[in-house]
A and B are shown apart, each in its own frame.
Chain A
């Protein structure tokens, strides 16, 4: 199945995306990751003010069968968390890239995102070979 990977987003090989707006990164997970997980039943996002670190867990997502860590693609401070989605995580699959954002992070080092994957590179990763 082919999924959408919007061009204006940056991607990680652990299936998170970031959208940079000034010094705030909007973080979510890709349609591919959500499909792989299957029906999402639980989502835990951090409180506002939590410090997150690139490559480290910032929350948890669970499907019926699996529990997965959410890995932060950036380092910084959480300025907003999508608690609405955490209350109804089954909706995440409907709109992963706008309504389905997970956290907004005030980033300390914009260069962290420079090495992220483009939409094309990410698509190649998940659909390739």
Chain B
């Protein structure tokens, strides 16, 4: 069996120069850690850290009426977005299952009155999303461009992220609200700056050309931003109870089950793929729900471990870790709705033994404003 070569981002050499430990991830060779997952995690919570997320899929859509078309793909009402705003949402299949979670950024009209949208999706699902979108969009009415391999994307995250980035741009980035974005200039070059992230902290995601990306990484490093890998990205997002596609959500789980009901806007928008499935679920009520679990001891619940109640297997853990900021072992798990209440005691089967856990409110961690 031949193994396909892993792709490398333009920041690969920078990671190697910092002795990062590299791993294969969704077809990419990515840093899993630099100095250590715990250190990187705390840097993002207290100061600022940066992640190379250039492996993520990056699309742009342009056309007279892109909105009408993309409204059919997602359960969120994208017509609410003003230029410079964005919406975290999901692509749904007809059964209401999640094809991917992603962000739609509305950039407004260009000089010829064409709507401009940017879409950023998971690395592992880039091809799947692209195929799905091209099948379900009328490409005679709009231009779809895949920039995935053309751009560097750096996530600069943490309470001090804004100060580090502001030093490298003339634009006032404090004017960008959470989930807002701006076409700006960074280090004298065009940059797409969004106030989004996957850590539960304030921060920015900056998309630039590869050479600028390398320079930006170097500049941020020199001002003390801590380079971070996929390991701390996972512990940070899990404390913030943000779903990881392929692990906490997938093609057979609906947003209503996954605790993403807040992005389903059935009342304010028309038809979309998966609508009837979600309506039915809403009417009948979902049978399972994603919950937060806090382990009562040191044992860590991991992906695919069983959750038991009164000796019976009732659910499954989708993600789990020892949470560095929370200071205990936490997990996300699907449980039957009748057990999906904070305070509910359950047990997790870890290597053949049962350990107590308690259902807690998500997120496990919330940044102080």
Q: A-facing mask of B294-307, CB < 8 A → 1, else 0?
A: 00001110100000
Q: Which residues of B contact A87 (CB under 8 A)?
A: 298
Q: How many A-B residue pairs have CB under 8 A?
A: 38
A60 at interface (Cβ–Cβ under 8 A)? yes
Known: A64-B235, A64-B321. A38 touches B33 (CB 8 A): yes
B356 at interface (Cβ–Cβ under 8 A)? no
Q: Which residues of A contact B322 (CB under 8 A)?
A: 41-42, 62, 64
Contact (Cβ within 8 A) B300 A41 = yes
Contact (Cβ within 8 A) B36 A42 = no
Chain B interface bracket (under 10, 10 to 19, 20 to 34, 35 or more)? 10 to 19
Chain A interface bracket (under 10, 10 to 19, 20 to 34, 35 or more)? 10 to 19
A8 at interface (Cβ–Cβ under 8 A)? no
B220 at interface (Cβ–Cβ under 8 A)? no
Tell me the minimal C-beta distance from A23 to chain B in angstroms: 30
Q: Which residues of B contact A44 (CB under 8 A)?
A: 299
Q: Which residues of B contact A64 (CB under 8 A)?
A: 37-38, 231, 234-235, 321-322
User: Among residues 1 to 60 in chain A, which have CB atoms less than 8 Å away from a CB atom of chain B?
Assistant: 1, 38-39, 41-42, 44, 60
Contact (Cβ within 8 A) B32 A65 = yes
B351 at interface (Cβ–Cβ under 8 A)? yes
**In the complex, what residue of chain A is closest to B23 when comparing beta carbons?**
A65
Chain B interface, >50% SS class:
mixed
Contact (Cβ within 8 A) B36 A39 = yes
Q: Which residues of A contact B321 (CB under 8 A)?
A: 41, 64
Q: Which residues of B contact A125 (CB under 8 A)?
A: none
Q: Which has the most chain B C-beta neighbours within 10 Å: A1, A44, A87?
A: A44
Tell me the minimal C-beta distance from B353 to chain A in angstroms: 10
Tell me the minimal C-beta distance from A2 to chain B in angstroms: 13
Contact (Cβ within 8 A) B33 A42 = no
Q: A-facing mask of B274-299, CB < 8 A → 1, else 0?
A: 00000000000000000000000011
Tell me the minimal C-beta distance from B199 to chain A in angstroms: 15
Contact (Cβ within 8 A) B302 A67 = yes
Q: A-facing mask of B226-268, CB < 8 A → 1, else 0?
A: 0000010011000000000000000000000000000000000
* Cα-based distance from A44 to B350 in the complex (angstroms): 12
* Cα-based distance from A1 to B35 in the complex (angstroms): 12
* Cα-based distance from A64 to B324 in the complex (angstroms): 10
Contact (Cβ within 8 A) A42 B299 = yes
**In the complex, what residue of chain A is closest to B39 when comparing beta carbons?**
A39
Q: B-facing mask of A51-94, CB < 8 A → 1, else 0?
A: 00000000010111101000000000000000000010010000
* Cα-based distance from A87 to B297 in the complex (angstroms): 10
Contact (Cβ within 8 A) B300 A65 = no
Known: A62-B300, A64-B322. A38 touches B351 (CB 8 A): no
* Cα-based distance from A60 to B37 in the complex (angstroms): 20
Q: Which residues of B contact A38 (CB under 8 A)?
A: 21, 32-33, 36-37, 231
* Cα-based distance from A60 to B355 in the complex (angstroms): 15
Q: Which residues of A contact B37 (CB under 8 A)?
A: 38-39, 63-65
* Cα-based distance from A125 to B146 in the complex (angstroms): 45
Q: Which residues of A contact B298 (CB under 8 A)?
A: 42, 87
Q: Which residues of B contact A39 (CB under 8 A)?
A: 36-38
* Interface, chain B (partner A; CB < 8 A): 19, 21, 32-33, 36-38, 231, 234-235, 298-300, 302, 321-322, 329, 351
* Supplied contacts A42-B300, A42-B329, 17 more A-B pairs, CB within 8 Å: A38-B33, A38-B37, A39-B36, A39-B38, A41-B321, A42-B298, A42-B299, A42-B322, A44-B299, A62-B300, A64-B37, A64-B231, A64-B235, A65-B32, A65-B234, A67-B302, A87-B298
* Interface, chain A (partner B; CB < 8 A): 1, 38-39, 41-42, 44, 60, 62-65, 67, 87, 90
In the A-B complex, the 6 residue pairs with the closest CB atoms: A41-B322, A64-B37, A39-B38, A39-B37, A42-B300, A39-B36
